[in-house]
Amino acid sequence: MRRIRIFSAMILVASLFLIFFYSTLHLETTYTHRVGPEELLEQATLQVHDSDVKTLSSMREGFTTPQHDILNGTVSNSLRETIPQNEAYWNRLLYSVLRNLETGENPFRHDSRWSRCRETNQELLQTNMHDFASYPVLFQTFVKSMNCRSPPVLINQPNGCMSREGKGNNRTFLLFAIKSTPGNFERRQAVRETWGREGVYQSGLRVVSVFLLGSSPLDDPDLSPLLSFEAKHFGDLLQWDFHESLLNLTLKTNMFLLWALKSCPQVSFVFSGDDDVFVNTPVLLRYLQSLEASKASRLYVGHVISTANPVRDPKSKYYVPLSFYDGPYPAYAGGGGFLISRGLLRPLHSLSRVIPFFPIDDVYIGMCSKALGVSAEAHAGFQTFDVNEQDRENLCVHKDLILIHQRSPQEMKRLWKGIHSPLLTC
How far, in Å, CA of 286 to CA of 291, rounded?
A: 9
Nearest to 372 by CA among 108, 99, 103, 62: 62
Mean pLDDT of 102-128: 82
Cα–Cα–Cα angle for 336, 404, 295, nearest 5°? Answer: 70
Write out 331-356 in H/E/C secondary structure: CEEEEEEEEEEHHHHHHHHHHHCCCC
The confidence band for 19, taking pLDDT boundaries of 50, 70 and 90, is: very low
Q: What percent of the chain has pLDDT over 70?
A: 79
End-of-domain residue from the set 144, 171, 199: 144
Looking at every residue in the chain, the average pLDDT score rounds to 84
The answer to whether 289 touches 203, Cβ cutoff 8 Å, is: yes
pLDDT top residue among 104 and 341? 341
The answer to whether 216 touches 183, Cβ cutoff 8 Å, is: yes
**What pLDDT does residue 108 have?**
58
**What pLDDT does residue 70 have?**
41
Is residue 123 located within the same domain as residue 252? no
Cα–Cα–Cα angle for 87, 83, 89, nearest 5°? Answer: 30
E-strand ranges in 170-280 read 174-179, 199-200, 206-215, 237-243, 269-274, 277-279
58-67, 182-191, 347-356, 374-383: the lowest-pLDDT one: 58-67
Is residue 283 located within the same domain as residue 348? yes
End-of-domain residue from the set 144, 167, 184: 144
Decide: helix, strand or coil at residue 168. coil
Domain housing 375: 153-419
322-331, 361-370, 385-394: the lowest-pLDDT one: 385-394
Nearest to 364 by CA among 104, 94, 107: 94
Single pTM value for the model: 0.83
How far, in Å, CA of 49 to CA of 112, rounded?
A: 10
**What pLDDT does residue 1 have?**
47
Which of the 8 DSSP states describes residue 51? Answer: H
Is residue 116 located within the same domain as residue 201? no
Domain count, the chain: 2
Which of 214-218, 310-314, 350-354, 383-387 holds the top average pLDDT?
A: 310-314
**What pLDDT does residue 296 have?**
93
Is residue 372 located within the same domain as residue 238? yes
Is residue 192 located within the same domain as residue 286? yes
33-47, 126-140, 174-188, 253-267: the lowest-pLDDT one: 33-47
327: domain CATH number? Answer: 3.90.550.50
Which of the 8 DSSP states describes residue 152? Answer: P
Task: Identify whether 73 is part of a domain.
Answer: yes
The confidence band for 77, taking pLDDT boundaries of 50, 70 and 90, is: confident
How far, in Å, CA of 98 to CA of 75, rounded?
A: 7
Phi-psi group of 170: left, alpha or beta (phi > 0 → left; psi -120 to 50 → alpha; rest → beta)? alpha
Task: Identify whether 24 is part of a domain.
Answer: no
Task: Identify whether 22 is part of a domain.
Answer: no
Q: CB-based contacts of 61: which residues, under 8 Å, 6+ apart?
A: 55, 343, 346, 347
Asked if omega into 67 is within 30° of 0 (cis), the reply is no
**What pLDDT does residue 405 have?**
92
Task: Identify whether 26 is part of a domain.
Answer: no
The answer to whether 314 touches 136, Cβ cutoff 8 Å, is: yes
Is residue 111 located within the same domain as residue 197? no
The confidence band for 74, taking pLDDT boundaries of 50, 70 and 90, is: low
pLDDT top residue among 47 and 92? 92
2-11, 45-54, 215-224, 399-408: the lowest-pLDDT one: 45-54
How far, in Å, CA of 324 to CA of 314, rounded?
A: 13
**What pLDDT does residue 112 have?**
63
Task: Identify whether 263 is part of a domain.
Answer: yes
Q: What is the CA radius of gyration of the chain?
A: 25
The confidence band for 170, taking pLDDT boundaries of 50, 70 and 90, is: low
**What pLDDT does residue 282 have?**
96
Task: Please give the C-alpha separations between residue 17 and each of 22, 23, 27, in angstroms, as whole numbers.
Answer: 9, 10, 15
Mean pLDDT of 137-141: 97
Is residue 391 located within the same domain as residue 285? yes
**What pLDDT does residue 39 have?**
36
pLDDT top residue among 76 and 290? 290
Beta partners for residue 332, in sequence order: 305
Write out 73-142 in H/E/C secondary structure: CCCCHHHHHHCCCCCCHHHHHHHHHHHHHHHCCCCCCCCCCHHHCCCCCHHHHHHHCCCHHHCCHHHHHH
- pLDDT tens, position by position, 373-401: 999 999 999 999 999 999 999 999 999 99
* β-strand pairing of 237-243 with 332-341: unpaired
426: pLDDT strictly greater than 50? yes
Is residue 139 located within the same domain as residue 207? no
End-of-domain residue from the set 81, 113, 144: 144
How far, in Å, CA of 41 to CA of 56, rounded?
A: 22
pLDDT top residue among 91 and 10? 91
Provide the angle, in degrees to the nearest 10, between the axes of the packed helices 345-352 and 361-372.
110
Is residue 304 located within the same domain as residue 410? yes
Is residue 85 located within the same domain as residue 215? no
Task: Identify whether 282 is part of a domain.
Answer: yes
The confidence band for 48, taking pLDDT boundaries of 50, 70 and 90, is: very low
Phi-psi group of 242: left, alpha or beta (phi > 0 → left; psi -120 to 50 → alpha; rest → beta)? beta
- pLDDT tens, position by position, 226-266: 999 999 999 999 999 999 999 999 999 999 999 999 999 99
**What pLDDT does residue 168 have?**
47
Task: Identify whether 23 is part of a domain.
Answer: no
pLDDT top residue among 412 and 57? 412
Is residue 127 located within the same domain as residue 170? no
Cα–Cα–Cα angle for 74, 253, 60, nearest 5°? Answer: 40
The confidence band for 65, taking pLDDT boundaries of 50, 70 and 90, is: very low
99-108, 221-230, 359-368, 410-419: the lowest-pLDDT one: 99-108
160: pLDDT strictly greater than 70? yes
**What pLDDT does residue 68 have?**
35
How far, in Å, CA of 179 to CA of 310, rounded?
A: 23
Is residue 232 located within the same domain as residue 117? no
How far, in Å, CA of 423 to CA of 215, rounded?
A: 44
How far, in Å, CA of 74 to CA of 354, rounded?
A: 11
